[in-house]
Amino acid sequence: MKKQLKLIYLLAIGLILSILSCNNDDEGATSSPINLQDLQVTIDENPTNGQIIGTVQTDGNGAIDFDIATQTPAGALSINSTSGELTIADATLFDFETNPEITATISANNVVNTANITINLNNLNEAAVPGGTDTEFVIGTDAYVTPKAYLLLDDAAGGFEREFSFVFTNGDVVEDATNGIAFETTMTTHFSKITCNLIGMSMTEAQLPIFTWPVQNPAVSIVMEGNNYTHIDITAFNNPSMVGGLSFGQVDTSTNYPHLGQALGSLNHPTHLLTVNSITVDLTAGTGTIDCSYNYDDDNGINISGVFVGSYEILTAF
């Protein structure tokens, strides 16, 4: 009997030790540190909602809940809290001209760090169904987005030369008093330059018709009497110079890049119109806003039409 009790006692002690050992192993697994890994990817601009960007990886074991702590711009991304899979929440924010880089910080419970997410966008020639934005020009079925606008006032000779032009483009433009306007060289550039020549009319800059004519219904239409031209897919520039940390240059017209010939508007071509729905101007600040459309045929018989709704800068001395 005593031997049986001794055996039962030893078995009980062994069972207790085994349970304690298992508990220690479990505690060790739970306390093992979990690290989140950074994620950097490059995708084309203009993706679709729900498109998968990638998955935040970990180098530890254990169940965690993922969360987006910060993101710029806000609302661009969403994350699966269980798997860490990142997807696009708002595809309209993935526009190279507006947000060439999307960033986010991912956090989670039971981890020792956060993960940095960097998404770089490829700039595309945005051929699209015309009418997709309110800042674009259209050639056939191709639309070229132009988020920047500039009003050029020609006073290079020391006085206003009764001519003005609007440039609608996808990059920055600066005034180059020696060589004319200069375009940002860090991107594939496209632009339309719309000119209205007011020779024969005596006025000051402040008396420009688009500034003084009352905007009414129907909108004011101005005949574009001057050199109107559109260029696309520009990659070659002359006379580069640095302004504000960016490189600017004049378009190299000797390079055989795809482009459209210029067209000279006149009173005999009433379709060469700049139609102004509304406009504001501050000549002191050199800024303004405009809601307009334009339409003309180039010298190859190709029709170019465009719209722009937004702010513009004023450049002078050309």
Each residue's pLDDT tens digit, 60-93: 777 789 999 999 999 999 999 999 999 999 988 9
Instruction: At 185, list the tokens.
Output: 């060289």
Question: What are 22-29's contacts with CB under 8 Å, separation 24+?
Answer: 29/61, 29/62
In this structure, is residue 8 part of a structural domain? no
Q: Is the domain of 235 the same as that of 290?
A: yes
Into how many domains does the chain fold? 2
So what's the pLDDT on residue 73? Answer: 94
pLDDT higher at 43 or 4: 43
Q: Which pTM value belongs to this model?
A: 0.56
Find the CATH number of the domain harbouring 58. Answer: 2.60.40.60
Q: Is the domain of 180 the same as that of 216?
A: yes
Q: Is the domain of 46 the same as that of 169?
A: no
So what's the pLDDT on residue 127? Answer: 38
Q: Is the domain of 280 the same as that of 211?
A: yes
In this structure, is residue 27 part of a structural domain? no
So what's the pLDDT on residue 129? Answer: 44
Q: What is the DSSP letter of 36?
A: B
In this structure, is residue 2 part of a structural domain? no
* Residues spanned by the domain of 58: 39-122
In this structure, is residue 24 part of a structural domain? no
- Angle at 181 (CA atoms; ends 192, 198), nearest 5 degrees: 65
Q: Is the domain of 208 the same as that of 309?
A: yes
Helix (H) or strand (E) holding 211: helix 209-212
Q: Is the domain of 156 the same as that of 59?
A: no
Give 3's pLDDT tier (boundaries 50, 70, 90). low
Q: What is the pLDDT of residues 92-133, one digit of tens each?
A: 899 876 888 999 999 998 888 999 999 998 866 443 345 567
Which residue, 76, 37, 43, is CA-closest to 57? 37
Cα→Cα distances 213→157, 216, 219, 221, 310, Å: 26, 9, 10, 10, 19
